[in-house]
Structure 1
């Protein structure tokens, strides 16, 4: 006869969950409170960030704006350009290292508390519970035939979902098109194709992911659940069931602390049984721990039958003091790249010069014995204020700028400057000679960019 353990293992081998729609039971506790605190924090930042204003150059503009048309990213008083793409790469590396660090310490804790899928699923599930009732009422409504009441409840729920998804899409697009311009354009049906597409796409995406797909995203679509196993070990703290204390479980008897009430399964947003051990579907939200602690309190038993604990701790092994090597590695990577990013941010030049030689004519010989070369200097003024720039050449004796030498560069713009350099012919030099362009900000005198180029002689 197969053992209970083998039967459980057989039940786990399935390609897809066949439990039908999950109607999670609501619970209260410290982990649920922390989860909702993260919902409020993330949504205040997301919905409110696009409405913040910042003064730049005497003008009030949106504080956080991805200006794709202008190829700029405004973050309060900071403006980043495509030339600062390395900063974006470093930011992504820091985020990945921080995620790996959190996973090594507490498993999929990011999934349970801060992942956008989890956050919006919690919001949509809360709306569903307010409209259709608790988990039992929702299951009963699902099984009931179509009626006026059922149609009204479903229409109300989906209508509220659509409003939330729509406002989420507006807020998202508002980070790329100024929100104070987007709303009037939307009201007047004067949206461009880009804004219209992303409003429809992101709104539909939010509606489907948080309202309809829900736990299927975490179980079958999210790649993070599949490779997190390489980042955890026996000392990683996950939402875990203390089998040594809880088994053997049996309702109505006190062989073990677990009374087999099943509430831990009822509150799980992914529908798993935490008592079957660590499973990739678990998002470490801690709701099973809150539910179990509530039951234990009613029975007068100690809390913690389900808690955040490591495999080593549950096995009674000695927990090593200090951090494990992988934690040190992830932490060191996050700190190192954070420091590197901050250094690059502080030291990044606010004036960049790119020198291009004229492609049509290599050189010109004038009647007064001069040889001229033409250049285009693409000057990127990354400062949100206009500059007066003086252009000079050095490194080649006798070479000098012909004509205008002082130019104006607009605030936050790339300005092409046409420059001609001349020098006397017959000075003993011929062919390609090196020279340097020097661009100086006349306003402060300290900003100076040197860019190498070449001068061609007969």
Structure 2
């Protein structure tokens, strides 16, 4: 038996044709209450608190989270990452991707329904629409009505709130790349950098369009995740589903009527599950790629079931196997594979992060001159030594070279002091008597060691060039 979910034709889909340029169907979402909505609201509140709040947190005299592009430094609280550390960021993105795969195999599109920025901002925009234009029926009537002062005022209020949310989103995003306190002052005094203004405008417009005007179009047509999610689904994946065995045949009835007497199922065909869906689908038609797993239809249907004194769960989180009366298998090869790979990558990331060097050393040979003979007959090579201090304090270092006992290092006078989170670049000369040359190309090692903290050390290899050995 295949573990794939079978493809089902929707009612009336035989010989169906689609107009790729059809006018968008206006979706007005109905207000509802329920457990899953409360969970989403709590999650949205936390996400907004993190996004808009973290940018204003200070840490040791600077912004706690700041991507300082001019200085090529990425600060996350007490940690500072340099360009050579950005491989960790790439690795973190890979971990997030595998985490999404793992969650999708286990629980479908819960990321889309509860934590995706498109969903989070869309629900916020829908809230602004409801408080300015009224509930669903009022909004439908308002859209069909002629333009009056009342309609103009309500539409203007809605779009003003939408633009304001988009503007705050854009300012906060740019505030993670430019210190947000200074950015706010510059914006108020009209002295902000042109690029900062451009990106604020860009993200304001993008938020306004995606969450306000396009909404479900982004999820259905623009998001690639909606298209390849089916590859990760199987018959044991947790999805939002309608229990057709219990609900069909559908039909309206009196509250006190016995549905079995009338040959009906528990579904009263009220269409409220469709009215609360942010993508406008009918979950009773089966699993569809447009479903973002937000469980709005679950909450709405449970409300109806409570009013009818029927058991909850006509629409619920379940699996294809469970719907067909079978057993759901939680531990299965695909899920275990993603989970194991995720654990290995997280472990490697934690180890790499804990062993992240606080000082870096890079040595580059002067390629303009292979070598030169100096007074006294010694052979000399010139190098550029770069010392990276990633700590929050000024550090003093001792520099040495290894390769031959008779090799001498000539560096600038004075100690090598490097400011916090700074790069020091100094030229150094290495000399060796040609009589000690074993070949024209020798491996040498530069080492630095902290004067105040011997644990701050690093090394880098280079080559020492000389004349042909006779």
Quickly say closer, same or farther: Cα 1:12–1:337, change in 2 above 3 A: farther
* Mapped pair 1:8 → 2:16: no
Post-superposition shift, 1:397?
A: 3.2
Residue 358 of structure 2: which of 327, 350, 373 is its match?
350
Q: Deviations over 1:91-125 (max 9, x none)?
A: 11111111111111111111111111111110010
Q: Deviations over 1:9-64 (max 9, x none)?
A: 34975355767210010100001111111111110100001001111xxxx11001
What is the SS of the residue equivalent to 1:316?
coil
For residues 402 and 24 of structure 2, the distance between their equivalents in structure 1, rounded to whole angstroms, comes to 77
Query: Counterpart in 2 of 1:228?
Result: 229
* Mapped pair 1:339 → 2:350: no
Q: Deviations over 1:351-407 (max 9, x none)?
A: 221111112322232232222211111111222222111111112231111254631
For residues 134 and 234 of structure 1, the distance between their equivalents in structure 2, rounded to whole angstroms, comes to 38
For residues 387 and 16 of structure 2, the distance between their equivalents in structure 1, rounded to whole angstroms, comes to 63
* Mapped pair 1:217 → 2:208: no
Query: Counterpart in 1 of 2:34?
Result: 29
1:380–1:414 contact (8 Å) kept in structure 2? yes
Post-superposition shift, 1:304?
A: 0.4
Post-superposition shift, 1:251?
A: 1.6
Query: Counterpart in 1 of 2:301?
Result: 292
Quickly say closer, same or farther: Cα 1:7–1:407, change in 2 above 3 A: closer
Task: Provide the TM-score with structure 1 as the length reference.
Answer: 0.94
Structure 1 stretch 82-91 or stretch 293-302: which is displaced more? 82-91
Query: Counterpart in 2 of 1:104?
Result: 105
1:94–1:333 contact (8 Å) kept in structure 2? no
Task: Provide the TM-score with structure 2 as the length reference.
Answer: 0.92
Query: Counterpart in 2 of 1:398?
Result: 406
Q: What is the number of residues matched between the two proteins?
A: 450
Post-superposition shift, 1:411?
A: 1.3
Q: Deviations over 1:200-221 (max 9, x none)?
A: 0001000111110011111111
Residue 276 of structure 1: which of 282, 285, 309 is its match?
285
* Mapped pair 1:174 → 2:180: no
For residues 437 and 308 of structure 2, the distance between their equivalents in structure 1, rounded to whole angstroms, comes to 101
* Mapped pair 1:371 → 2:379: yes
For residues 115 and 150 of structure 2, the distance between their equivalents in structure 1, rounded to whole angstroms, comes to 35
For residues 18 and 430 of structure 1, the distance between their equivalents in structure 2, rounded to whole angstroms, comes to 77
Post-superposition shift, 1:230?
A: 0.6
What is the SS of the residue equivalent to 1:378?
strand
Quickly say closer, same or farther: Cα 1:15–1:352, change in 2 above 3 A: farther
2:372–2:380 contact (8 Å) kept in structure 1? yes
Post-superposition shift, 1:430?
A: 5.3
Post-superposition shift, 1:424?
A: 2.3
Unaligned runs of 5+ in 2: 1-8
Correspondences of 1:40-439 after superposition (within 5 Å): 40-55=45-60, 60-252=61-253, 254=259, 255-320=264-329, 322-404=330-412, 406-427=415-436, 429=438, 431-439=440-448
* Cα RMSD for the two superposed structures: 1.8
What is the SS of the residue equivalent to 2:435?
coil
